[in-house]
Structure 1
Amino acid sequence: MQQPFDLIIIGGGSAAFAAAIRANDLQLHTLMVNGGLPLGGTCVNVGCVPSKFLIRAAESVRHTMHSSFEGVQAKGAEVDFKQIIQQKKALVADMQGRKYLDLLADLQYVTVLEGNAAFVDKDTISVNGETYKALKIAIATGATTAIPPIKGLSDIPYLTNDTLFNLEKHPDALLIVGGGYIGLEIAQLYNRLGTKITVIEAMDCVLPSESRDVTDELTKHLIAEGVEIRTATTLSRVWQEGRAIKAELASNGQRLTIQVTHVVIATGRKANTERLNLEQVGVKTGRGGHVLVNEYLETNVPSIYAIGDVNNLPQFVYTAAYEGTTAVSNAFQGINHKVDYNVLPWVIFTDPQVAGVGLDEHQAQEKGIPHEATTLPLTEVPYSIAALDTRGFIKLIRNPETDHLLGARIVAPGGSELTMELSLAIKYGIKVKELASTLHPYLTLAEGVKLAAMSFTKDIKKMSCCAG
């Protein structure tokens, strides 16, 4: 048995580092055990950073090939795919160094150990044949792609976001299995870089958790760019013939075989809990192996917490970091801060982006909250009209009895930038009429929030510019 610690953190990603920094501030002797991805976890290594870099690279290619302005001739771009990936790798290494590895030198109370941890009892783990004890333990092992049981899949070199972004040879044709946010972001960016894309989704629409006006709008624009989307479709089996991969698709009783160069699995996430020996201590898990926690981030076992993508709460890097700090404060300072994600802004980085905060109409209906919605197409937003890009809409949902904003859904280029105003309006009870009466700069996308708020009571099409 090694010398006891105050805190053991199992994991080395955003949640783990946030917890370690907070623990160091409190002068808690802390052991961080990392046995999965390199330090920094999903976001910097295989998630947010590389994907958004590639999305921006693909966007720049798109802009050189398409112009809505009659006086601008889009003549295309010379694309060196290998160089794009190499620059991505350099960026990831730099971000990992500056935002994670370089921080360790200042964390004098934190010890980092590489290896896979497993519980021995509720306050003891084993790593590399040694045991370590602590007053509190935080599970922060993250999540990874859930691989479905598809016939032949294990016999081909299939890809996930963990491996796709390191492929230096330009893929000719991708079959993307899964129409969630990861699958759609990948589909559009590789399509823009010249790859033939087929997306299949088992449900009858992509982004099946969202309302159909949102999914239909995004689907329309992805198809217009050349992305092939097949909904109500599953992958029955795959096999390799030479360098090609054959895939048999099933839809409405029909079978279709297509040929691609790569298969990408994007069918959801599962928690990295298999090696933790959670049954030894009785920690409860739910769907996908995600650790169940309460509003204080505690598991059902006293002294054990779960933070970040490994738990059953929303999976975002910003929530993971928030949970890391919160869990340590709750565990050692008795703050009892409750995690509340009722006003959580989120973004899907397609183009147009899909963004949201709060409730949509269906969620309000399920909760029995009086509600009404208004949808403002970007064809009525001066900024979008001037930019000759009116793809999408801004939808607001309010309680008509109180005029309080309940939520918003946005499909718009750059629409993510609107979410914070709307988040604050919900959080602080700013009424919709106040959003409508507050001055917003003309020819900004933010003005669309004002116009959408006004559209609950006025016909925007019959108003002059800047009218209040």
Structure 2
Amino acid sequence: MSSTKYDLIVVGSGPGGYVAAIRASQLGLKTAVVEAAELGGICLNWGCIPTKALIKSAQVFEYINHSEDYGIKVKGAEMDFGGMIKRSRDVAGGMSKGIQFLFKKNKIDQLLGWGKVQPGKKVEVEDKDGKKTVYTADHIIIATGGRARELPALKIDNEKIVGYRKAMVLDKKPEKMVVVGSGAIGVEFAYVYSAIGTEVTIVEFMDRIVPNEDEEVSKALERIYKKKGINIMTSTEVTGVDTKGKGCKVTVKDKKGKESVIECDVVLSAVGVVSNVENIGLEDVGVLVEKGKIKVDEYYRTNMPGYYAIGDVTPGQALAHVASAEGIICVEKIAGHHPEPMDYNNIPGCTYCVPEIASVGYTEAQAKEAGYEVKVGKFPFSASGKASAAGAKDGFVKLVFDAKYGELLGAHMIGANVTEMIAEIVAIRKLETTGHELIKTVHPHPTMSEAVMEAAAAAYDEVIHI
């Protein structure tokens, strides 16, 4: 039987909550985690992990369809949509069981039910039968995450207008799909469905797709996606969706005010996430919420002593690895350690479309806006031996340096496996490595990662292979 008194209670078991709990247990704190759904939260069950499984299946199908490019003939390959969805769910299920094992190993109590923070450092947990139990702790971390944002003209009904959760478990492959929003979620699903034969249209309100990325990356992805047969409409707004008939009639308006209608089977709303800050007791405790986010200091303390918040409910980037790092910093501070506060300008962002996108730090435009004089180096994968051998010549590595001191201000990559390559940049930025030092860091050949060294060399007019 669980105790009702803990050193730490974490509300939410996503990549913020479960990581915080494990680190707390390692540091000797008696810890419990409250979870209303599946262990591992959205990331493990309905986000990062199962989407990557779907992307892999789509990629395998794409490889088979283009196998002749590699000197292999395959006849009669068929896409099993149900099998693809099942594999994705099995992968997610396995990961969630892994968290269960880690909790057991680290002697962390699971409190299953809906958690609400209360004054006096208490958490009320209501189980599925409506039974309420109150637990107390010296410290309470709120890690309740986020959910899909809804637009007024795009109300999710989970039949014809769906969010990312439903997009992962559709009953059958749609013939036509409209994806609204071209951030990471939008372009990843656009790739998956296009690769398996759905006619996909992306509608983006901003003037380019993946609008948070460097402009050259946006242009490259648009060109590649159009080549794959994906329709792209930028500077376009969805003004309404008629779901009365068999499918959907999506009314869109361009920047000149011209309206048109797109017909499809299903609309995916991928217009960002909002924080889960409602109905968790914040008002009762007096925890300050500003613009839909819980206000915290650099160690994730709220305005109320003993109450902390990490992950998507706070103002930092809504990314799994950010939530995990915040959780570790938060509990190390609670345990009396002296962790370094997070540098939010050195957080890698990864998008797992095909080709992948990875970036960190300033874009070229942001660096100039910040007053830097810049040196920019680019190396295309079309000049990479490994990329040619792998049949993955799309994309490039772009590095932005401060011309004065050689500091690496930002890196922007689009290409195969670049989400694995970005960590090198994060590490060398953390270590304050200069452009010249990077050029003299010998990279293995042939690899995709050589492009990092070559891009640095290009910035200083020392590039060899272009």
TM-score (norm 1): 0.91
Shift of 1:429: 2.1
Q: How far apart, CA to CA, are the structure 1 residues paired with 2:363 and 2:245?
A: 48
- Rounded to whole Å, the distance in 2 between the matches of 1:286 and 1:376 is 42
Say if 1:31 and 1:417 are closer, same or farther in 2 by CA, change over 3 A.
Answer: closer
1:347 to 345, 350, 360: 350
1:100 shift after superposition: 1.0
Q: Is the 8 A contact 1:10 1:138 kept in 2?
A: yes
The Cα shift of 1:409 comes to 0.5
Deviations 1:224-279 (A, max 9, x none): 10111111112111122443122211223111122211111110010111111312
> Paired residue for 2:101?
102
Q: Partner residue of 1:416?
A: 419
Q: Report the residue type matching 1:400 in the other structure.
A: A
Partner residue in 1 for 2:267: 263
Amino acid at match of 1:253: G
* Correspondence list, 1:52-201, <5 A: 52-66=52-66, 69=69, 71-73=71-73, 77-97=77-97, 99-108=98-107, 110-121=108-119, 123-128=121-126, 129-150=132-153, 157-201=160-204
Q: Which amino acid aligns with 1:127?
A: V
Q: Distance in 2 between matches of 1:353 and 1:104?
A: 33
Shift of 1:96: 1.1
| Paired residues, number | 458
Q: 1:31 to 1:70 in 2, by over 3 A?
A: closer
* Structure 1 residue 157: Cα displacement: 4.3
Deviation of residue 11 (structure 1)? 0.7
Q: Deviations over 1:177-207 (max 9, x none)?
A: 1111110000011110111111111111112
**Amino acid in structure 2 at the alignment position of 1:100:** I
Matched-pair contact (CA < 8 Å) for 2:8–2:31 = yes
CA distance in structure 2 between the aligned counterparts of 1:175 and 1:290, rounded to whole angstroms: 30
Gaps of 5+ in 1: none
What CA distance in whole angstroms lies between the structure 1 residues aligned with 2:265 and 2:280?
36
Q: Normalising by structure 2, report the TM-score.
A: 0.92
Q: Is residue 66–residue 74 contact of structure 1 (8 Å, CA) maintained in 2?
A: no
Structure 2 letter corresponding to 1:427: K
Task: Note the C-alpha offset of 1:6.
Answer: 1.7
Could you say if the C-alpha distance between residues 286 and 226 of structure 1 is closer, same or farther in structure 2, counting changes exceeding 3 Å? farther
Deviation for aligned residue 1:321: 1.9
Which deviates more, 3-12 or 346-355? Answer: 3-12
Q: Which runs of 5+ in 2 are unaligned?
A: 127-131
Kindly state the Cα deviation for residue 401 of structure 1 after the two structures are TM-superposed.
1.4
What residue in structure 1 maps to residue 258 of structure 2?
A: 254
Shift of residue 407 of structure 1? 1.6
Q: CA deviation at 1:26?
A: 3.2
Provide closer, same or farther for how the CA distance between residues 34 and 77 of structure 1 changes in structure 2, counting only shifts above 3 A: same
Q: Which amino acid counterpart does residue 257 of structure 1 have in structure 2?
A: V
Shift of 1:223: 1.1
Return the alpha-carbon distance in structure 2 between the equivalents of residues 398 and 245 of structure 1.
47
Range moving further from structure 2, 412-421 or 451-460:
451-460
Q: Runs of at least 4 residues of structure 1 off by over 6 A?
A: none
AA partner of residue 6 (structure 2): F
